[in-house]
Amino acid sequence: MSNKIVKLPPEVNRVVYVRNLPYKISAEELYDVFGTYGPIRQIRKGVSGDKKGTAFVVYEDIFDAKTAVEHLNGFNVAGRYLIVLYYQPHKINKKTDLQKKQEEVDRLKEIASKQTQQ
């Protein structure tokens, strides 16, 4: 009996981020679609603003999440093609940090411009 060690890419994890969901999709329908690939620990559906049409799906097993991403990215649900990615919080945090830095730069530019006008 040989033990195969499977090396997964670093972005692979149990949490899958889904975009472009139909707004009226129910929790049961989400479980039906994503549960096909393995046991799910939790689904969190975005309900307001820019979070609408998104969801986080947490699988029990990392290999189930990998299979779901491979099979469901581009999958058509109620006329919408799903965008299914691995959740990568460091990328989201990096984007937020850049936005905050840009806001600070803009604020300092405004202060500097007011001082030169006086």
Domain ranges of the chain: 10-87, 88-118
pLDDT at position 91:
61
Query: What is the four-CA torsion angle of 15, 21, 23, 29, rounded to 10 degrees?
Result: -70
Taking domain 10-87, whether its CATH number is 3.30.70.330 is answered by: yes
Query: pLDDT tens-digit profile of 3-61?
Result: 677 777 777 889 999 999 999 999 899 999 999 999 999 999 998 888 899 999 999 99
Query: pLDDT tens-digit profile of 66-99?
Result: 999 999 999 999 999 999 999 987 665 555 566 7
Tokens of 110: 């405004």
Tokens of 84: 């299914």
CB 56 within 8 A of CB 44: yes
Determine whether 79 is exposed, middle or buried from the number of CB atoms within 10 Å of its CB (0-12, 13-18, 19+): exposed
Categorize the per-residue pLDDT at 110 as very low, low, confident or very high, splitting at 50, 70 and 90.
Answer: confident
Q: How many residues does the chain have?
A: 118
CB 12 within 8 A of CB 63: no
